[in-house]
Structure 1
Amino acid sequence: MGINKRFKLWIVLAAVLVALLAYGFWPRAIEVETVTVTRGQFYEVVSEVGETEVKNIYQVSAPITGYLRRIELEVGDPVVANETVVAEIEPLRSQPLDPRSEKQAVAELHAAQSALEMTQAKLRQVQNELSFAKSDLERAQSLYKDQAISEREYDTAKKIYQSLQQELQATQATLQLRKAELERVQALLDTSLVEFLPKCDCSQVFAPTTGVVLTRYRESAGVINAAQPIMDIGDAKDLEVKVELISTEAVRVSEGQKVRMKGWGGETELEGVVRQVEPMAYKKVTALGIEEQRVNVYIDFTSPPEQWQKLGHGYQLDVEIILKDKPNSLILPVVAMVREGEQWISFVIVDNVAEKRILTVGAFNGLDAEILDGLSEGERVIYNPSASIEDGILVSIKKDLSSERAVKSK
């Protein structure tokens, strides 16, 4: 009797152990998040980060080489075309002389003054001699007419007078040279001691257009060369958006296509239209050192100005250029898709079991994909499937994210 009880006890213990082992090795459902396949308006887009620009930027440059006075205008200050003085440029200032050069210039000044005085004395002497020679010539001419002197004596008086005339002209020319040399040395000394007054005969540079100061390349006073930029001026309310697209994407963009702009800091989604696709690409090196061919695309705002009036020059936006607008399309988030070889797949939940589906994709728009085949509207697809998800595995739905995604997309 005791043996039977003990046997039954062992049977019970064995059954419990088998049950525990079975429970431990029984496949458990993996918790997953899901999204629902929807049908609606699908926009095939090209996405890129854009930047606002003032449409017409006028660069003000120095018209002459000179000394630029301090720029008083600040960035953002308004200017009026042909009225507002944006810069004043003085003639170039001479460099002050060092003590040694100044002593040398003073010595040259004294020498020039002495040479001038000597030339002036020489001029007075020649003038006196010429006056006497003229009197002698007149007297000789009178005597020669009366045959009181010979022709030779008359010619001698005439040659003396003509020679003194030539000497007078040479002395006068030398006097002008001495004066010019004296003025040069005096100017050299004077300019080294000049103190420029607040008011001078400056070249004034006027604003070429009405707008605001966008950039100042120079602020402090100093020497400036001709054609060197001083500032940029433009109308900050006349904005456009520039997007640098990869050339393989730019060929799909055309003038007149609609544009959506987000991520600019405001709550409103801005709208625009493609105005221009530049015909020439350029090379750009990314932060990773990859060379890309980029094309500039320019976009005009179509949203009311009051919606984007807080934007300025150089502000960043997330731009989506709408290539195609496809109504009644089957839409699935890209994060619910997995790349398997050369094809896209997703896992649909059927009776708490993950079922692999091979997808035929029409187009992508960054967040979503247009599904042509492989799914049906309303089916639940595993969101961001992990490596442990495979065909036929048991799953349980932890949360459906369709409603949250709908709120974010608005």
Structure 2
Amino acid sequence: MLRRLMMLLALLAVLAGLAWAFWPRPLPVETAVIGKRDILVTVEEEGKSRIREIFTVSAPIGGQTLRIDRHAGDQVVKDKTVLAEIRPAAPGLLDARLNRVAEAAAASAEAGVGLAQAEVRQAEARLAFLKTELSRAERLAAKGTISDSARDKARLEAETAEAVLESAQSALAVRKRELERAEAALIETGTAEGPCCTEIKAPITGQILRVLAESEQVVQAGTPLMEIGDPADLEITADILSRDAVEIVPGAAAEIVNWGGAPLAARVRRVEPSAVTKVSALGIEEQRVPVILDLANPHEARQLGDGFRVVVRIAVWEGKDKLAAPIAALFRQGSAWAVYKVMDGKAVLQIISPGRRNDDVVEVTAGLTAGDVVILHPSDQLANGVRVTSLAD
């Protein structure tokens, strides 16, 4: 009898243990209390800093620039700091054919000078002869030996010969210049002579941003040499998706973050009217709108330079004292949004009407009241009526 009683008690103990082991327990969950708070909706996008006005210093004339000893970061003063110097470039090399042509042209010009010199000597001799004849004619006319007409004819011939001499002398000067030009074509590389040097001075007071042509080289007029700007005159630009850009208005408050320093206050200055098509890292074409921002306190961004990467956070909507629920509590229920409320230790499915949202919370316009407790990160184990217990308890 006692043995049966002991076996019965052991069986009851086993059944009690099994019942306790398989008895459903409340599901542990994270919870949050619904309350009112201010909601700020922002648009966040990568951007970059840039100097508002960048001046590109170019070569005003063609020639050979001397090596530029200025470097990025150097301070420059308007109309005082010499940025670069340009001297005349040496003539180019002549190949065999062009050299023969130049030599022939020089020889031809030299022969032309000789011909012109001979014409000058001929004109001088004729003028001397006619002057002698004019002198003789004037003496004879004074004695009445020849007529006045013969004397005037002699004077005309002398004056004509003088004009011919002047013409021959001018022709000789032209021939000499032609010879000089022909000889100049034979000047070899490295023997060019000319004034040195044309100085290029800073157009503004600021800093050198980039040196584009540091080494000594031959440049054409208009060749960019360096870029200059004022680092204190910074602006921020970001390409915003067009669907987000429609909510941004000039004057909207913004914040510059993730640039390597403390967040910087900024304001939207301009939303450009035209979008551009860009391809994302995933190969998707997107329409993006350039948005320009001004820093509220530029002196706080002294370490920012031209082309630095930043993250722009622009406010597009702000709600004061709005009923808000954590984004982590929401999930889709068909075509609607829903949450699980905790009521009497059980999860209760609740359909809600969400409003504006940011990365953390969403405005609730219907379905919840202040003080309601909702479940965060609802799992597949949750269902309407399932017993739950908060991890915070």
Q: Using structure 1 for the length normalisation, give the TM-score.
A: 0.78
**1:270 aligned to 2:264?**
yes
Larger deviation: 74-83 or 349-358?
Answer: 349-358
Other-structure match for 2:203: 208
Q: Is the 8 A contact 2:255 2:314 kept in 1?
A: yes
- Residue type of the alignment partner of 2:129: F
Find the aligned partners of 1:195 and 1:145 in 2 and give their Cα distance: 64
- Residue type of the alignment partner of 1:53: R
**1:294 aligned to 2:289?**
yes
- Residue type of the alignment partner of 1:59: T
Find the aligned partners of 1:292 and 1:226 in 2 and give their Cα distance: 39
Other-structure match for 1:365: 358
User: Structure 2 vs 1, CA of residues 213 and 142 (structure 1 numbering), >3 Å: closer, same or farther?
Assistant: same
User: Structure 2 vs 1, CA of residues 178 and 196 (structure 1 numbering), >3 Å: closer, same or farther?
Assistant: closer
Unaligned 5+ segments in structure 1 are 401-410
Other-structure match for 2:367: 374
Find the aligned partners of 2:53 and 2:123 in 1 and give their Cα distance: 72
How far off is 1:352 after superposition?
A: 5.1
Find the aligned partners of 2:79 and 2:216 in 1 and give their Cα distance: 23
Map 1:295-314 → 2, pairs under 5 A: 295-302=290-297, 305-306=299-300, 308-314=301-307
Other-structure match for 2:277: 284
Q: Deviations over 1:162-193 (max 9, x none)?
A: 55334323322321221011110222223634
**1:230 aligned to 2:225?**
yes
- Residue type of the alignment partner of 2:235: E
Larger deviation: 314-323 or 143-152?
Answer: 143-152
Q: Is the 8 A contact 1:218 1:230 kept in 2?
A: yes
Q: Is the 8 A contact 1:96 1:193 kept in 2?
A: no
Count of residue pairs the alignment pairs up: 387
User: Structure 2 vs 1, CA of residues 265 and 183 (structure 1 numbering), >3 Å: closer, same or farther?
Assistant: same
- Residue type of the alignment partner of 2:207: V
Q: Is the 8 A contact 2:271 2:289 kept in 1?
A: no
Find the aligned partners of 1:398 and 1:89 in 2 and give their Cα distance: 78
Find the aligned partners of 1:48 and 1:165 in 2 and give their Cα distance: 89
How far off is 1:387 after superposition?
A: 5.0
How far off is 1:43 after superposition?
A: 1.5
Other-structure match for 2:337: 344
- Residue type of the alignment partner of 1:272: A
Find the aligned partners of 1:382 and 1:195 in 2 and give their Cα distance: 87
Other-structure match for 2:171: 174
How far off is 1:132 after superposition?
A: 0.9
Other-structure match for 2:191: 194
Q: Is the 8 A contact 1:334 1:367 kept in 2?
A: yes
Q: Secondary structure at the match of 1:189?
A: coil
Find the aligned partners of 2:333 and 2:139 in 1 and give their Cα distance: 131
User: Structure 2 vs 1, CA of residues 234 and 155 (structure 1 numbering), >3 Å: closer, same or farther?
Assistant: closer
Q: Is the 8 A contact 1:250 1:277 kept in 2?
A: no
- Residue type of the alignment partner of 1:239: L
Give the root-mean-square deviation of aligned CA atoms. Answer: 3.8
User: Structure 2 vs 1, CA of residues 145 and 223 (structure 1 numbering), >3 Å: closer, same or farther?
Assistant: same
Q: Is the 8 A contact 1:245 1:297 kept in 2?
A: no
User: Structure 2 vs 1, CA of residues 204 and 34 (structure 1 numbering), >3 Å: closer, same or farther?
Assistant: farther
Find the aligned partners of 1:373 and 1:62 in 2 and give their Cα distance: 69
How far off is 1:113 after superposition?
A: 2.5
Q: Is the 8 A contact 2:239 2:288 kept in 1?
A: no
Q: Secondary structure at the match of 1:314?
A: coil
Q: Deviations over 1:320-353 (max 9, x none)?
A: 2234443333333323322345432222344554
Q: Using structure 2 for the length normalisation, give the TM-score.
A: 0.81
Find the aligned partners of 1:229 and 1:352 in 2 and give their Cα distance: 75
Query: Pick from 290, 311, 335: which aligns with 2:328?
Result: 335
Query: Pick from 74, 80, 84: which aligns with 2:81?
Result: 84
How far off is 1:253 after superposition?
A: 3.1
